[in-house]
């Protein structure tokens, strides 16, 4: 059986698409991981150190301030 060069090209193209999709997925995963880390940091900052109540955007605790 003779290998069809068109099939070889098709499989190379498919691999190229796969690696592009994998790169896009990795990029998206990195972005969402960064977003989750950022949200976690914001949550830590937005908690009163005295009573651990969630603080509003002003950063002032309604109980302790």
Q: 48: which 2 tokens?
A: 């009163």
64 binds Zn ion (CB under 5 A): yes
Binding mask 10-49 for Zn ion (x = CB under 5 A): --------------------------------------x-
Alpha-carbon radius of gyration of the chain:
25
Residue 42: count other Cβ atoms within 10 Å of its Cβ: 10
Cα–Cα distance list, 43 to 12, 36, 52 (Å): 46, 10, 11
Least distance between Zn ion and beta carbon 56 (Å):
11
Which residue of 8, 19, 50, 60 would you call a contact of Zn ion, by CB under 5 A?
Answer: 50
Residues in contact with Zn ion by the rule CB under 5 A? 48, 50-51, 61, 63-64
């Amino acid at each position: 059986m003779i290998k069809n060069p068109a099939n070889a090209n098709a499989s190379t193209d498919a691999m190229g698409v796969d690696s592009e999709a994998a790169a896009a997925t990795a990029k998206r995963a990195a972005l969402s991981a960064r977003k989750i880390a950022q949200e976690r940091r914001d949550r830590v900052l937005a908690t009163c150190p005295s009573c651990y109540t969630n603080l509003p955007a002003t950063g002032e605790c309604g109980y302790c301030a």
